[in-house]
A and B are shown apart, each in its own frame.
Chain A
Amino acid sequence: MKFRSVFDIIGPVMIGPSSSHTAGAARIGRVARHLFGREPQSITISLYGSFAKTYKGHGTDVALVGGVLDFDTFDERIVNALTLAKEKKIKVRFIEEDAVTDHPNTARVHLKDDKGELELVGISIGGGKMEVIELNGFALGLSGNSPAILVVHNDRFGAIAGVSNLLAKHEINIGHMNVSRKEKGKEALMTIEVDQNIPQVVLDEVESLPNILQVAKISE
């Protein structure tokens, strides 16, 4: 079941006009921001399907950038996100793609600064709900059935044990876990589905562990 909460249906409270193209888009941008961990110097967003065709009318562009600026769906600053980004001297670029994707509302978000970059593919599945299907080239096989966290880490011994021990300490049960890496000893990604919502303090603790680069919660 993709939708677990009544507040996925009666909610979110949001700035109009579209839950999938505005609120869902803001959430995609915000997850990218949280995974990046800081304000980027440049934002490049490729839009596919319905996103590519209708983004201007739906405010998908302002919402995605608003999300990257860490605004929630109901934050009225979303309306002026492009101006705010300009004031912060953040380069923003949109690319309308023709390629056909599995989901009609797909966005590829690329964030960059002097220290690094991040690329994430998100889909907005309706009613403001979204899923991350790809991160830095890693395909994410998330069921969407449970709350999940993404942990970008160095591919070193003990990194996975550190995270799972910490979750155990907080009595959080792991329902499904996947670890993937592109190359031995380089960057890797843990995708962890858990049974209950993870408080922010626990995420902060995870992030402070050795070899952990970025942490983000991708659903509630």
Chain B
Amino acid sequence: MFRNVAELVELAQSRNVPISEIMIEQEMEVRGSTREQVVGQMERNLEVMEQAVERGITEDVRSHSGLTGGDAVLLQTYLKSGKSLSGETMLDAVSKAMATNEVNAAMGTICATPTAGSAGVVPGTLFAIREKVNPTREQMVNYLFTSGAFGFVVANNASISGAAGGCQAEVGSATGMAAAAIVELMGGTPEQSSHAFAIALKNMLGLVCDPVAGLVEVPCVKRNAMGASNALVAADMSLAGITSRIPCDEVIDAMYKIGQTMPSALRETAQGGLAATPTGRELEARIFGVSLDKK
């Protein structure tokens, strides 16, 4: 069993197999399952992600609070105008990431990757890249295993919980996971995947979890948008040959320590950051009829 990214990369390189393969084999061993069972379960997760994205970019999805919904569709429409500055794959990924989180906020069905609040980044990037490079279903499933392998290390060595480590632990982790998986899908090496993860997470360090009214909506949906774009940029940088000066495992450790020193008000308690802004408090009061602050 790999305990950190260095071991994961070493395992994959010494056997000359992709990271996804290491993850599949470990899962078979841990659960005593066959390859068909493990891959089959991931295929079902992929289908759930696909349905959530599809729903989010075509339907008028609205959350109960009314705080979020409809932005993924707006971006798809804008994309079709051909005027976008940041490019098609980039904005498509952003739109599909938001689509997933808008469905999530509306209490729809999603697949947590690694959490529900950060569920947009991995599928958002995957389904945008699909339009560009037309991967096989197997490659798409492997994308999820590679994402999962990196998330597995973060979950065991740091945290993937916003309440424990802030948004850096959720959208930050998801962004790194997606960046690493993009690299593998685009033909990069396991080591390049680890650099992409490190570059992506470095840009997310210190990000606090400050949801308005405690809802997984504002700013969560748009943070997934930024996560998706960050993942694409980090993957491109790594594929271009750029490396992270700080090794991946040390970046994960830094994230963990930052999370530990983050005040509780900024860890999913709706007491600080954007949640505590005048508008944040006003929205909160409107949704619940009373401000959480005054309870």
Report if A56 contacts B (CB, 8 A): yes
B112 contacts A50, C-beta separation under 8 Å = no
Instruction: Evaluate contact between B269 and A127: CB separation under 8 angstroms.
Output: no
Contact A10 B164 (CB under 8 A): no
Q: Number of contacting residues on A, CB 8 A?
A: 47
Residue from A54, A103, A220 whose CB has the most chain B CB atoms within 10 Å: A54
Is B41 in the interface zone, CB < 8 Å from A?
yes
Q: Are B48 and A13 in contact (CB under 8 A)?
A: yes
Min CB–CB distance A190 → chain B (angstroms): 23
Residues on A with beta carbons closer than 8 Å to the beta carbon of B151: 9-10
Quick check: is B172 within 8 A (CB to CB) of the other chain?
A: no
Inter-subunit contact A14/B116 (CB<8 Å): yes
Most buried by B among A12, A53, A124, A197: A53
A41 within 8 A of B: no
**How far is B160's CA from A197's CA once the two chains are assembled, in angstroms?**
24
What are the residues of chain B within 8 A of A96 when measuring CB–CB? 295
Closest chain B residue, CB of each to CB of A197: B31
Question: Which of chain B's residues has its CB closest to A59's CB?
Answer: B107
B21-33 to A contact mask, C-beta < 8 Å, 1/0 = 0010011001110
A79-93 with Cβ < 8 A to chain B: 79
Measured CB to CB, the nearest residue on chain B to A129 is B155
Find the B residue at minimum CB distance from A62: B107
| B-binding segment of A17-25, A113-121, A178-186 | A17-25
Query: Chain A's nearest CB lies how many Å from the CB of B275?
Result: 9
Chain B neighbourhood of A5, CB < 8 A: 27, 30-31
- Which of B27, B164, B269 is in CB contact (< 8 Å) with A6? B27
Contact A13-B45, Cβ < 8 Å, known A6-B152, A53-B214, A128-B115: yes
Pairwise interchain contact A16-B148, C-beta atoms closer than 8 A: no
The answer to whether the Cβ of A143 comes within 8 Å of any Cβ in the partner chain is no
Q: How far is the CA of A96 from the CA of B269 in the complex (A)?
A: 13
A-side contacts of B177, CB under 8 Å: 9
Across the two chains, which residue of chain B brings its CB closest to A105? B163
Q: Is B270 an interface residue (CB 8 A)?
A: yes
By beta carbon, the residue of chain B nearest A17 is B216
* A157 on the B face (CB < 8 A): no
Q: Can you name the residue of chain A whose Cβ is closest to the Cβ of B112? A: A19
Pair A76/B268 contact, Cβ less than 8 Å: no
Which listed residue (B104, B112, B216, B292) contacts A53, Cβ 8 A? B292
Interface residues of B in 25-75 (CB under 8 A from A): 26-27, 30-32, 38, 41-42, 44-45, 48, 63, 65
A103 to B155, CA, bound (A): 16
- Docked Cα-Cα span, A172 to B103, in Å, equals 41
Using CB atoms, name the residue of chain B closest to A78: B107
| Known contacts A1-B156, A2-B156; is-contact A11 B111 (Cβ 8 Å) | yes
When distances are taken between beta carbons in the complex, the residues of chain A under 8 Å from B292 are: 53-54
Contact B163 A20 (CB under 8 A): yes
Taking the complex as formed, is A58 at the interface, i.e. its CB lies under 8 A from any CB of chain B?
yes
A94 at the interface (CB under 8 A from B): no
A125 proximal to B (CB < 8 A): yes
Contact, CB under 8 Å: B111 / A13: yes
Instruction: Choose one: B105, B109, B155, B264; the contact of A3 (CB below 8 Å).
Output: B155
Which chain B positions have C-beta within 8 A of A13? 44-45, 48, 109-112
B170-190 interface code vs A (CB 8 A; 1 in, 0 out): 000000010000000000000
CB neighbours of A58 from chain B (8 A): 214-216
Residues of A within 8 A of B111 (CB): 10-14
CB-based contact B214/A16 at 8 Å: no
Cross-chain contact B160 with A17 (CB below 8 angstroms): no
In angstroms, how far is the closest chain A Cβ from the Cβ of B24? 8
With beta carbons under 8 angstroms apart, the residue of B48, B217, B271 that contacts A17 is: B217
Give 15 CB contacts A-B under 8 Å: A6-B27, A6-B38, A7-B42, A16-B110, A16-B119, A19-B116, A20-B161, A53-B271, A57-B214, A57-B215, A104-B163, A126-B163, A128-B115, A196-B31, A197-B31
Which residues from chain B sit less than 8 Å from chain A, CB to CB? Answer: 1, 3, 23, 26-27, 30-32, 38, 41-42, 44-45, 48, 63, 65, 103-117, 119, 122, 144-145, 147-149, 151-152, 155-156, 159-164, 169, 177, 211, 213-217, 264, 267-271, 287-288, 292, 295
Extra inter-chain contacts (6) besides given A5-B31, A20-B161, A54-B215, CB under 8 Å: A5-B27, A6-B152, A16-B119, A23-B116, A127-B160, A127-B161
Q: Give chain A's interface residues, CB within 8 Å of chain B.
A: 1-23, 49-50, 53-59, 74, 76, 79, 96, 103-105, 124-128, 196-197, 220
Top 4 closest A-B pairs, CB basis? A54-B214, A126-B161, A16-B104, A9-B151
